[in-house]
Structure 1
């Protein structure tokens, strides 16, 4: 493979770039070489050479064409949890022989110009560009300036489903939890989004691939490649199973979709019903919300240092994993295939939604639940504020 350039902005995007590269490598089903994390840790330790707490090291400039078959450019986010996970994922990628450049793309005044200047050469010479978030304004800007000949989109959550649907319908690209009206910022960026959408669609001289573990309706001319999490299964586990259950958190409160009071009550009910002891926090969950969950439910809140698919595969992990509608109801059954772990998804009732939620939110979340893997149990929550019962659906 030559001329492969990937842009990632989250740990999950980088994980799925590694999964994509694994499907292209000879002998993809390599023997497991990863050692499980220490029992009871629930997280992986800092990668070798990583500054404590995921603090950024010196920025690595990108000055020419990719020097290895696959080069990953990390367009670093600003929140500490994402940065820490990305640092550890970057070390895993280097262990696989991937060249990784850390770019402080949001590092204050002038960062955008510096980033574009450093990436101009590699973008022009790349045979294939791999991105994880087609909704990212940063990625959209890069695509408007340098249209790739071959483009691959890897998963960064359930938004992949919405991207494929919007691309197929010829609509502008809008995240599902955003309201439909255009604000001042969106109006200014509308020309960028429009051109980027064209660059994300197949055309003469350009191919588009979606590499996904999610059920997507492929637009005409788009190639869909299945992500079975073969690299994760080959490198880690199988995990030691504990006797109880683990809950998986979500950022639905932080994105303004779900009411915080309803969310906390449901988490407590799920913990009591399934005997859960740990709550794996989403990297975007606020400290205040997590403190409230710990105090009111008694759950041990764990902030994973790697994507949950890797944490679960390394173990230890509960025999049951309960999640709200999110990507993990599609990915965990693949990553944990053959381990005996049961995955369940709890539906989001309409009464939990905030007034600020997008009109499309309920339908989208229901679609995520309805399209979950066959191995996933569906839990129907009573649609009352008291949430006085939970039953298998």
Structure 2
């Protein structure tokens, strides 16, 4: 039997870890299908000879915020249940932590034949990509940022998060530029190796040479649910205020308008939302604020969940219809009014958010909300 194929996955958020689980589950199903075909065509000896199991090590580059860390701890347990080796790195635990982490991971990186990453924009990940000799790279979803990554890769642009300002690069950007450029070359398929993007996002067209594999949340649907569905509505929070894209007053007013129009009772907070803003939402809207201990796709699939799930433009307008397929739950998305944007919002913000909404499948689109009059349509 051939040696195991060493795969190393790097994750920095609960959603990335969830999508590594989905990728591994899909790959395992494909291998089982292939093995069944080989058994039919050539017998068990041939199947054993050509199909060695993958060896996957999941490396958690732990963030500092408590909500993300808590969700990652829960997700890491699920990964262990699925047979993955999990390595937890306090990658941001002080000034010396990055150097210590990179040195400690170097042998693992050099021995890997495949690298799976969740955030190609991450400077940490970009630095690690300069060390590895892996021929195969896989990018799993880190939410809607995957759409921007694909667009920038297709256009040959440097990798910049969509919500960052459109000004000139800062001093840190210039210092890091050689590493970022090297990572971008590694993320471009060619003689150095292959690139696969595993995504539930709409990707059309795909960059030349990039393999696109659809994420249909098969692992989530097999592992959880189906949920009990109530007659109420749930509202999904967003961190657009925290990232400086949307004005807080407009956001709170929009949430209140959605709550009144649709009878929402619960607000599922994004893990990056501030406690101050969440307290204000609870007081001014009467919503029960829930801080999920797992990604929302798993929370909703496990249930209970409202018959309608309301959201602003975000990853969940693409993922929840897949995770909740067949349950009768309706996902509705509310556009971001340009008047809600802050003066510091990136020039690309409105177009990107409109694209997130416009490309979502199997969702009901709420055409407008007035934060002045508190009405919806």
- TM-score (normalizing by structure 2): 0.91
- Distance in 2, matches of 1:8 and 1:123, equals 14
- Distance in 2, matches of 1:320 and 1:379, equals 12
Question: Structure 1 residues 112 and 381 mapped into 2: Cα distance closer, same or farther (>3 Å)?
Answer: same
Task: Give yes or no for the alignment of 1:381 onto 2:368.
Answer: yes
Match of 1:144 in 2: 130
- Distance in 1, matches of 2:282 and 2:342, equals 23
Q: Does the Cα contact within 8 Å between 1:7 and 1:72 map onto a contact in 2?
A: yes
- Distance in 1, matches of 2:221 and 2:371, equals 40
Match of 2:111 in 1: 125
Match of 2:160 in 1: 174
Structure 1 residue 312: Cα displacement: 0.2
Task: Give yes or no for the alignment of 1:186 onto 2:173.
Answer: yes
1:78 to 58, 64, 67: 64
1:197 to 184, 202, 206: 184
Match of 1:275 in 2: 263
- Distance in 1, matches of 2:128 and 2:373, equals 46
| SS of corresponding position for 1:345 | strand
- Distance in 2, matches of 1:230 and 1:385, equals 38
Alignment of structure 1 residues 44-55 onto 2, 5 Å: none
Alignment of structure 1 residues 305-320 onto 2, 5 Å: 305-320=293-308
- Distance in 1, matches of 2:83 and 2:217, equals 19
Match of 1:18 in 2: 21
RMSD: 1.6
Structure 1 residue 387: Cα displacement: 4.3
| SS of corresponding position for 1:186 | helix
| SS of corresponding position for 1:363 | helix
Match of 2:202 in 1: 215
- Distance in 2, matches of 1:353 and 1:331, equals 25
- TM-score (normalizing by structure 1): 0.88
Q: Does the Cα contact within 8 Å between 1:266 and 1:387 map onto a contact in 2?
A: no
| SS of corresponding position for 2:130 | helix
| SS of corresponding position for 1:130 | strand
- Distance in 1, matches of 2:251 and 2:368, equals 12
Q: How many residues align?
A: 353
Match of 2:290 in 1: 302
- Distance in 2, matches of 1:370 and 1:22, equals 29
Question: Structure 1 residues 387 and 227 mapped into 2: Cα distance closer, same or farther (>3 Å)?
Answer: farther
Q: Does the Cα contact within 8 Å between 1:22 and 1:28 map onto a contact in 2?
A: no
| SS of corresponding position for 2:289 | strand
- Distance in 2, matches of 1:205 and 1:185, equals 28
- Distance in 2, matches of 1:314 and 1:366, equals 30
Task: Give yes or no for the alignment of 1:93 onto 2:79.
Answer: yes
Structure 1 residue 92: Cα displacement: 0.4
- Distance in 1, matches of 2:8 and 2:129, equals 13
- Distance in 2, matches of 1:89 and 1:278, equals 23
Name the structure, 1 or 2, with higher relative contact order (CA <8 Å, separation 6+): 1
Unaligned runs of 5+ in 1: 30-66
| SS of corresponding position for 1:145 | coil
| SS of corresponding position for 2:232 | strand
Structure 1 residue 205: Cα displacement: 3.5
Match of 1:349 in 2: 337
1:103 to 62, 75, 89: 89
- Distance in 2, matches of 1:342 and 1:166, equals 32
Q: Deviations over 1:280-317 (max 9, x none)?
A: 00000000000000000000000000000000000000
Q: Does the Cα contact within 8 Å between 2:253 and 2:374 map onto a contact in 1?
A: no
Match of 2:273 in 1: 285
| SS of corresponding position for 1:255 | coil
Q: Does the Cα contact within 8 Å between 1:68 and 1:98 map onto a contact in 2?
A: no
| SS of corresponding position for 1:208 | strand
- The structure with more helix, counted as a fraction of residues: 2
- Distance in 1, matches of 2:150 and 2:133, equals 19
Q: Does the Cα contact within 8 Å between 2:320 and 2:331 map onto a contact in 1?
A: yes
Q: Deviations over 1:145-175 (max 9, x none)?
A: 2242100000011000000000010000000
Structure 1 residue 68: Cα displacement: 7.1
1:240 to 212, 225, 228: 228
Q: Does the Cα contact within 8 Å between 1:116 and 1:142 map onto a contact in 2?
A: yes
Q: Does the Cα contact within 8 Å between 1:251 and 1:285 map onto a contact in 2?
A: yes
